[in-house]
Amino acid sequence: MPRFECLNEECSEYQKEVFFVKINYRFDKTKGELVASEDLKCKECGVELTLKKKEGYPQLMKFNSLSEGEKRKVIHNRAQTHFDKVGKEQKLHIKKNVLKRQIENGNH
């Protein structure tokens, strides 16, 4: 969930987090840049809100619009990230238990 904040020191909403559930970006040909689907200005002072914390990657297109190869790559990256966070510890734990049982049974 993208987080924004107002950096106008004179504003009553200064450095307060503003959340947007979903922001879509589209390319505006007349401006030549990406434009957000939401109004990214402070409701109190009208100053442009700034992105507070960047996490992950900006989602410029939906998963369904990707090609088959790109979908595989996205799924592979998600699985690898999950394995790096969770799976390595589980794998090591299982491996230690198997080795421990083999040593106890006299099989090595």
Helices of type H across the chain: 68-82, 88-105
In the 8-state DSSP scheme, what is residue 49?
P
Query: pLDDT, tens digit, for every residue of 64-94?
Result: 778 899 889 989 998 888 888 777 888 888 8
Alpha-carbon gap, residue 67 to 57, rounded angstroms: 18
Question: pLDDT at residue 56 above 60?
Answer: no
What are 25's strand-pairing partners? 36
**pTM, to two decimals:** 0.41
Residue 72's pLDDT is 92
Alpha-carbon gap, residue 84 to 75, rounded angstroms: 14
Query: pLDDT, tens digit, for every residue of 31-46?
Result: 888 888 788 888 888 8
